[in-house]
Amino acid sequence: MKWYWIKTSWLIKKIFPKYTWGFPPMERIVYLTFDDGPTPEITPWVLDQLQQFDAKATFFCIGDNIKKHPDVFQQIIQNQHSVGNHTFNHLNGWKTQTDQYLKNVMACAKTIEAASQQPSTINSQPLFRPPYGKIKKSQAKELLSSGYQIIMWDVLSADFDGRVSPEKCLENVLRNIRPGSIVVFHDSVKAFKNLQYALPRTLAFLKEQKYQCEGIV
């Protein structure tokens, strides 16, 4: 059975200080993120939920999915959400040679740029999230030196985990979210059972608690 942090340990953040795990808690702002899209069955539903609550988010997109579903990717752009790079083929950095990994990241960047008809992100700096949160030091060093922000997370919803119930997925978020938190969801078919339950309830909770949801820039 695989184990993972729901609330990222302060020790992990200290060991990897060049990665972005969250933001200063000076205001009631949180950062919802969605990995693995765009997915035609799921991403438009996510966009609709966000619009209903006047919330902005960040979508870490797989290049191959952008290529397959450019119209769905355009919906993300048109709704003025932030976009990040999640490799072209959802590679596990620990299992991939650095040169191959970096070429895959660049392939995704080119796909984002072509699909959005603008630079490789709509943000001030290009954003990158390693699939599975797994990236080698050599890979991270190259991306950081190229100007990327490596965006990790403070709270993992675990919506992707079939062992986790929708109720537990929601609890994972609501118990751990704080001002400045980066929260991980997935706009994927695999995660949708949990996401469908947890996302609207998370958005309702955040609105009730006077939080703003913003994209990462």
Tell me if 108 sits within 8 A of 125, measured CB to CB. no
CB atoms within 10 A of CB 127: 26
Helices vs. strands in the chain: H and E counts, helices first: 8, 8
Active site residues: 35, 186
Question: 46 to each of 2, 18, 58, 59, 184, how far by Cα in Å?
Answer: 27, 30, 11, 10, 13
Tell me if 129 sits within 8 A of 149, measured CB to CB. no
